Amino acid sequence: MTDDLDNTPPPQIDWYIKVADRAALITALKGPSETRDTFDDDGNVTGSETVHPHSIISQDEDDNDVIRATSWVRVDEIGSIYAPTGKTLTDDDGNSYPEMAAVAGYHANLRKLSDKADTLIQHLEDGGDTITPPATPARGFA
């Protein structure tokens, strides 16, 4: 730049998540946990429970874990990403195409829509669940 203005680039909006498997992704997207007291109808403490106030995980009617679309963060669950092995195959049309194999890990993309996502994103970064943004992502948001 030729001027002396603040040249801080715009803040990051997309994160790339890589974990071991889907169970790990679900756990990660529940965000940090907190322990809260539980009470009876008279207001007496009856014990404690673990909650995830920043979770974007819900269960459908069959109790399967689903990733919620929220107004503050969106997650595109990719799963396996495939990369060329270096071998070339030929299809029945005679076209050459690269042999692909799954790369390690279970993958997802995350887009931040508002600052409300910061705690969840920090939790993912602290847990080592995000990777350096690839130069040419296998998949992006439209």
Site residues (vs another protein, CB under 8 A): 1-3, 5-7, 9-11, 13, 58, 60-62, 64, 66-69, 71, 74, 76, 79-80, 82, 91-97, 100-102, 109, 111-115, 136-142
**C-beta closer to another protein: residue 18 or 74:** 74
Query: CB neighbours of 111 closer than 8 A, spacing ≥ 6?
Result: 13, 14, 73, 74, 75, 76, 141
Tell the smallest beta-carbon distance from residue 72 to another protein (Å): 9
**C-beta closer to another protein: residue 49 or 83:** 83
CB 100 within 8 A of CB 83: yes
| CA separation for the pair 19, 56 (Å, rounded) | 17
Tell the smallest beta-carbon distance from residue 82 to another protein (Å): 4
| CA separation for the pair 79, 21 (Å, rounded) | 8
**C-beta closer to another protein: residue 2 or 50:** 2
Query: CB neighbours of 104 closer than 8 A, spacing ≥ 6?
Result: none
**C-beta closer to another protein: residue 44 or 64:** 64
